[in-house]
Structure 1
Amino acid sequence: MKVEQIYTDCLSQASYYVESDGEVVVIDPLREVDYYIQKAKNSGSKIKFVLQTHFHADFISGHITLSKLTDAPIVYGPNADPSYDVIIANDNDVFKFGKVYMKLIHTPGHTLESSCFLLFDENNKQHSIFTGDTLFLGDVGIPDVAQRYEGLTKEKLAATLFDSINNKIRVLDSNITVYPGHGAGSACGKKMMKETVDTLSNQKIVNYALNGSLNKNQFVNELTSNLPEPPAYFPQNVLMNKNGYKDLSDILKESNKALTVDEFKIQMLKKNTIVLDTRSTIDFSNAHIPGSYFIGLNGNFAPWVGEILKDVKKNILLVVENGKELESIIRLSRVGFDNCIGYLKNGIYSWVQKGNIIDKIDNISPKDFTLLKGDFKTLDVRKKSETSVSSLNNSKKIPLSEIYLNLDFFNKKDKIYVHCAGGYRSMIAISILKRNGFNNVIDINKGYKGIQQCLV
């Protein structure tokens, strides 16, 4: 028996490939499914089941495509109501493959259909549990208010999750391995550990949800306090995962198109169309198309696309580093942004060669920033959990995820110095500010880390 975790850093998401004696189950697959198919082919194995822990809100799963290409049925737990053919399993239903089997354990709370899959080995012993968004390392999944259950509050979902954790998971063999659906950085939890695999016995020590120190009311208060509103794209992703979506191969055929400058400019004029620049912060800073969004591939690209662009139906024109066209389209599709019209052929170089206007971002070194005097404002776009630890005096603290709600805080004539921790989020923020008429914005190189080094 082999268990492989396929971890995608950008999404902080884990899918799983479990193989036994020529048969395979895949759990919560990514949208690009070729890896799982090729791996099974290489070992002479057949994918027997595609197991889904719940309807995902933060990414588009590849379950529908994988099932279509392999004839492996999709399995959901109780309360799931997809628009396509699946097996709706009951609590404790068993799925055999090779010499082992999975038992579905219904664990509602994060969502109503949330389920875990308990793996039993060749000796009929509990081996590991695949917990989806029910249980993370050091944390549990927050109540998924993105699904907007009628008559169900986040408090009721949290109370249900308390029962699931204590009645279904804490009672399992402490020696089993825990394989969660996400790691640190995901918006599906509040304080996940950076590790992505652990034993249940250790989690019973380090995870507040498992160590028995909280009663139900305390657990509910802990889990539901200071919950942010889910990103706007979450409900849209849920619906795509429930109702279906285009195959990635079809999206690539439609989107992987090189557009001349003239073709690009015509498309820019169309309704609900935006320009997205996925290059590095330096390249964007040096030259970009006026009014374009910056979200670089070298950071948490997909989640920020969803957070900033919000509407998955937006038409997207890409400006990319040469050779990164396909990667940009695929990573957009991971969060349901399937309407990419094409990319600018030869990138920003062709735009400049045609004599078109470009925009640039002014920047300042951390040292020069610390020496500044006069009338200026500082914007810190880090998360509240970061600024609460340490921040600059008199800086305005607006998390990047909340920037649209706070555009009226500054005057458009203000000189605004912007920083995050290292420079990625600040460049996203500046691109948004410039789109909204704030033209006197300056990026602080190396962000707060650089500033701190100069203040030592």
Structure 2
Amino acid sequence: MFIKQIYTDCISEAAYYIESNGEAVVIDPLRDTEEYTRLAAERNAVIKYIFETHFHADFVSGHLDLSKKTGAIIVYGPKTVTGFPVHIAEDGELFSVGTISFKVIHTPGHTIESSCYLLKDETGKDHALFTGDTLFVGDVGRPDLSSGNMTREELASIMYDTIQQKILPLADDVLVYPAHGAGSSCGKNLGVDTFSTIGEEKQTNYALQPQSKEVFIAAVTDGLQDAPRYFSINAKINKEGYDSLDAIKASGLTPLTVAAFKNKMKEDIIVADTRPADIFTEGFVPGSIFIGLEGRFAEWAGSLLPFNKSILLVTEKGKEEETVIRLARVGFSKIEGYLKGSFEAWEKAGEKVDMIINVEADELAMDIPNDPNLQMVDVRKEIEFADGHVKNALNMPLADMTDELLTEVVEDSQNLYLYCGGGYRSVIACSLLKKQGLHNLRNITGGWAKIKEEERIKIEKDASVLN
């Protein structure tokens, strides 16, 4: 028996390749399927099944492409309705793979069709539970992402029954392999580890402690942040089907000369620049939206870029394919090409360029008392802002930035100084503001991490939010 967890940090996602005696399964695959087919080829194995734990909301699964390439059967749990052929498993159904087997355990709560896959070893002993978004390390899946008319409280009630009847009876030594780790928006507060055991979760996971249903519902629904905007789009794509990744790459990897790129910009189109933040601020194509590959790229792209418009790319040389793949992972398909030669080609052609002025924390300390039009803008989450921010700063969380919001709260006469935690989100925000025609702005390099070290800058907290 061979088990490999394939973890993708930028979206905190874990897929799994499990093999026995020349047969393999892949659980919750990403859209780029080469890793799974490569593993199978190297190990002389055949991928027999593709197990999906539920309709993922935070990424587009690779189930369709992988099935077409391998002939593997796509398996979902009970209550699943799809727009393409799959095997809908019954609760308790067994699937043999080599000398091991998988038992389907229907575990609704995160979504109605959510199911776990219990791996039984060669002796028939329960070995590992692949939990999807039902059970995480230190958390359970949020109960507010399901389609349909059920409330989060109703789904949380179902989740309680799932935990009591399906999870807690399992032996303590059964391994827990979830679909996500820390940083994922599919739960509230996932632990840093990417696997655990049932016994460890019984001891440390708040949702598995002895408690009434009412207490459980309150615990799992309290403090839920709004789901990223693209979650509902991705869930729909996973349910109804999608274009192949190969087709998206064929279009997205079209090299465009400066002239061709500029001509396409006349259309209603988005220019996304994925170069590092410190390089982007030094110069970029006017109107570009910065979302650097070095951060949580796919998550911010899905949250901020429109899905109904085509995209042009400006990337570091050699990063074109990675950018297209990572955009496709969260459902983008209308990618029309990239700037050949990157920004350097644009600059050498003598085209107009824009830039963002970076300011160090010590410069900010000098500017605050001397500029009556200075307005600090903190683009971190509300809870981050409440825990400490520059006095009189305006909290404008990046995830909430829309055209309507910008025109309502920001004035042309203000000199805007933007910061986030470390400098990544604030550059995104600066690019959004510039695209809307607001250019009196500065980006604070190092963000809050550097600001709080500067003694001359007054800071404050919002106790009402923290409590």
SS of the residue corresponding to residue 453 of structure 1 reads: coil
Identify the residue that residue 326 of structure 1 maps to in structure 2: 321
| CA deviation after TM superposition for structure 1 residue 225, in Å | 2.6
Return the alpha-carbon distance in structure 1 between the equivalents of residues 110 and 90 of structure 2.
18
- Written as runs of structure 1 = structure 2, the 5 A alignment for 1:177-196 is 177-196=175-194
Identify the residue that residue 228 of structure 2 maps to in structure 1: 231
| CA deviation after TM superposition for structure 1 residue 207, in Å | 0.8
| CA deviation after TM superposition for structure 1 residue 255, in Å | 1.5
| CA deviation after TM superposition for structure 1 residue 390, in Å | 2.6
| CA deviation after TM superposition for structure 1 residue 437, in Å | 2.3
- Written as runs of structure 1 = structure 2, the 5 A alignment for 1:361-376 is 361-372=356-367, 373-374=369-370, 375=372, 376=374
Mapped pair 1:344 → 2:339:
yes
Return the alpha-carbon distance in structure 2 between the equivalents of residues 357 and 104 of structure 1.
58
| 2:359/2:445 contact within 8 Å kept | yes
Identify the residue that residue 302 of structure 2 maps to in structure 1: 306
398, 401, 420: which one aligns with 1:400: 398
Identify the residue that residue 62 of structure 1 maps to in structure 2: 62
Mapped pair 1:253 → 2:250:
yes
SS of the residue corresponding to residue 128 of structure 2 reads: strand
Cα distance per residue 1:83-131 (max 9 Å; x no partner)? 1111100111111101111111101111100001111111211111111
4+ residue runs over 3 A deviation: none
| CA deviation after TM superposition for structure 1 residue 442, in Å | 0.5
Identify the residue that residue 217 of structure 1 maps to in structure 2: 214
User: What root-mean-square deviation, in Å, do the aligned CA atoms of Structure 1 and Structure 2 show?
Assistant: 1.4
| CA deviation after TM superposition for structure 1 residue 454, in Å | 2.8
Return the alpha-carbon distance in structure 1 between the equivalents of residues 181 and 249 of structure 2.
29
- Written as runs of structure 1 = structure 2, the 5 A alignment for 1:44-63 is 44-63=44-63
SS of the residue corresponding to residue 10 of structure 1 reads: helix
| CA deviation after TM superposition for structure 1 residue 356, in Å | 1.3
| CA deviation after TM superposition for structure 1 residue 76, in Å | 0.2
| 2:380/2:397 contact within 8 Å kept | yes
Cα distance per residue 1:335-389 (max 9 Å; x no partner)? 0111110001111112112221111101111122123313211111112332233
SS of the residue corresponding to residue 348 of structure 1 reads: helix
What amino acid maps onto 1:389 in structure 2? D
Return the alpha-carbon distance in structure 1 between the equivalents of residues 25 and 455 of structure 2.
53
| 1:314/1:337 contact within 8 Å kept | no
Return the alpha-carbon distance in structure 2 between the equivalents of residues 280 and 10 of structure 1.
15
| CA deviation after TM superposition for structure 1 residue 393, in Å | 2.2
Sequence identity of aligned pairs in percent?
45
Structure 1's unaligned 5+ residue stretches are none
More deviation, 311-320/184-193: 311-320
SS of the residue corresponding to residue 454 of structure 1 reads: coil
What amino acid maps onto 1:435 in structure 2? K
| 1:135/1:141 contact within 8 Å kept | yes
SS of the residue corresponding to residue 205 of structure 1 reads: helix
Return the alpha-carbon distance in structure 2 between the equivalents of residues 319 and 26 of structure 1.
34
What amino acid maps onto 1:169 in structure 2? I
Structure 2's unaligned 5+ residue stretches are 457-467
Identify the residue that residue 243 of structure 1 maps to in structure 2: 240
| CA deviation after TM superposition for structure 1 residue 181, in Å | 0.6
What amino acid maps onto 1:251 in structure 2? I
SS of the residue corresponding to residue 209 of structure 1 reads: helix
TM-score normalised per structure 2: 0.94
Identify the residue that residue 449 of structure 1 maps to in structure 2: 449
| CA deviation after TM superposition for structure 1 residue 171, in Å | 1.0
- Written as runs of structure 1 = structure 2, the 5 A alignment for 1:2-401 is 2-145=2-145, 147-150=146-149, 152-212=150-210, 214-271=211-268, 273-309=269-305, 311-372=306-367, 373-374=369-370, 375=372, 376-401=374-399
SS of the residue corresponding to residue 95 of structure 1 reads: strand
What amino acid maps onto 1:383 in structure 2? K
What amino acid maps onto 1:94 in structure 2? L
| 1:25/1:48 contact within 8 Å kept | yes
